[in-house]
Structure formats: structure tokens, C-alpha cells
Amino acid sequence: MGFDDVNPPTRTDPSDEELTEWTAALLGEIDEALSSDAWGIIDTGTDHCIHRLYDAAALRHCAALLAEIDAVARARHELATRVLIRTHIEAFLFALYIHFGGAEAVTKIAQDTLASLEATHNDFVTWDQWLEKEQRRATEARDKIRRNNEVNARWNAEHPDSSARPIFDEPYVPQLSATGVDLSGAIASFGALEAESLPVRAVVDSLTRWGPEKGFGRESFTPMYHIYRVLSGGSLHPTLNVLDAYFVPGGFVRTLPVQLGPSMLKDARVTALYGTAFLAGWVLGDAGSTTAVSTFLRTRLEPDPSGGRGWTPGT
């Protein structure tokens, strides 16, 4: 069966070999299209140009993550796979947001980027100022105590028969270095743009609203946000849920070198593959590029909402 077949066979659980083959084919299709002259974009600075550039970059990012998810999953690296699939879901949602939101969506992401830069810059400045002040305070206190100790030590040596004068411990002077990082130039490059955060939930809500309007979805994207949140609390962050998975219950509770529970390796591979194919079908298809592999995978792995899977790819 080739990728040009219109009607894929009845769904079966894809094998690891099929997932590897499909991933390579999809990555090849994306690279061939985006490397072609059709995607050689003259940077004119217009809204259309900016949108097209970031449309391509966002697809490239999802494809790069898909390649790494495939690699770590085939190597049976469970934790790395879970962290990467969470990252891929976020990248996929923002890529769709860019594609269907146009230049305005790119501006929203720019505002979010600026907000993050400003927060980081302010944290660096606060740290550098605190460190300089603390080092100066501690150094002055240390030097004062050191001079006093030197006087007392001499006195004690000269008066061995008298009660010894106290020798005080010197305060610790922080030895860390200031960051020396100045992000003001990067911040200034955004011009008069106003910083504003863009939560993943807001992106999901926009996609849910746009889906029926723009023809790329009829179901809510909220289930994808739920998966994103579960993965955040169950893999990315060291929550108690993550740590609990190492416990072996019993009279004496012990810990295992790996987490208990079902593997997410195949689910992650299928989810990343379907999401990237879904995105590529729209980005490349709307530009007139070939999407035989993307179309095949979207049809083969399309979720079946009637089975309660929501946006989770079907098998």
C-alpha cells in the first residue's frame, strides 16, 4: 500500500515498524516541500511575509520534535518521550494558532515572547543588584570583624594571664558572579509592542472557536489541553504524582529504578505523528505543496469522537 492510496485499510494498531516508516516519510515530505523554491520567501516585512515565515518555522519545529520523539521512543526512553510529547503538543497548538490566526496570531505570540523577556530581564537585574549589595554588606562586616579579631588576637598574645578577648567568626561573603546579562536590546527590538502573556488555554479556546469557522475542526480542542495539563503534572514537573510512581506498595515500601504504570511510548509516537501530519496537511496544502503522506496519516490516524477519544489519535 502506498501513501497515494485514497482509502487506507481498516484501522489496526500500528506496528513500531510502521510508525518508523510513516515518521520518516512525513519528515521527508515536509522537508522536501519547505526546502523547495515555493517556500523561498523574500523578507519584505509585510504581514503576509511574516505569517508565511513563521508558518513554515512552526511546522519545522513540530517536525524536529517528532523526529526526536521517534528516536527516544524507539530507544525505550519513557521519561524523555513523555517530556517531549508534552512539548510537541504545545508546539502543535501554537503552530495551528499561527496558521489559522495569521499575522495577528504572530503578533500575539510576539507579545508573549516580549512578556517572557521582560520577566527574565527583571529577574536578572534584581539578582545582580541584590548580589552586589549583599557582597558589599558582607565584605564590610567581614573586614570590620577581621580587624577587631586581629586587635584581640594581639592583645591575647600580649596578655596570656588575662581573660582572652573573644574572636568572632567572620560572616560569609557570597562568591557567586553577577549574570551580566542585559536583555534590554532584545526587548527594544520589539519596538512599541506591548507585552502580554498568551496562556496555552487561550490558544486552545481560539482554536476551538476557529475550527468550525475555518473548516479545520468540528470538535473542541479542550481535550488536547487536558492531555497537555496531565502530562505537565505527570511527567514534566516533579509532582508527588511523578514521585509516587516509583513506590512499590507493600509492608515495606520500596522504590524502583523506573516508574510503575503503563508505557506511553506508542501513544506518544502516534499522537506526535498525527498532530504533525494534521498541521502539515494544512500548512503545505494551503500553499499548494504535495501532501500525500500527510493526507494518508490524517485519514489513517484520525480520532473517532464517537468512541470518546476526542482529539486523541485513533488506532
Q: Which residue intervals of the chain are DSSP H helices?
A: 16-34, 47-74, 78-158, 184-188, 200-214, 222-231, 240-244, 265-286, 292-301
Please, what is the average pLDDT of the chain?
A: 93
pLDDT at 5: 61
Residue type present at position 19: L
The confidence score (pLDDT) of residue 305 equals: 63
Return the axis-axis angle of helices 265-286 and 78-158, rounded to nearest 10°. Answer: 110
Which of 295, 263, 232 minimizes the C-alpha distance to 90? 232
How many percent of the chain have pLDDT more than 90? 85
Q: How many angstroms separate the CA atoms of 99 and 286, rounded?
A: 10
What would the pLDDT profile of 49-100 be if each residue is shown by its tens digit? 999 999 999 999 999 999 999 999 999 999 999 999 999 999 999 999 999 9
Q: Kindly list the distances between the CA atom of residue 60 and the CA atoms of 20, 26, 68, 312, in Å, as whole numbers in the listed order.
A: 18, 12, 13, 22
Mean pLDDT for 264-291 is: 96
Is residue 315 pLDDT above 50, yes or no? no
Give the number of residues written for the chain. Answer: 315
Please give the model's pTM, rounded to 2 decimal places.
Answer: 0.89
Report the range of poorest mean pLDDT among 195-199, 260-264, 303-307.
303-307
For 133-195, the DSSP string reads HHHHHHHHHHHHHHHHHHHHHHHHHH-TTSPPPP-PPPPPPP-PPP-----HHHHHTTTTPPP
Q: Where are the domains of the chain?
A: 16-307
**Coil, helix or strand at residue 248:** strand
**Nine-digit cell string for 102:** 495569521
pLDDT the model gives residue 17:
95
Q: Is the pLDDT of residue 145 over 70?
A: yes
Using an 8 Å Cβ cutoff, are 273 and 264 in contact? no
Q: Is the distance from CB of 195 to CB of 114 less than 8 angstroms?
A: yes
Would you say residue 6 has pLDDT above 80?
Answer: no
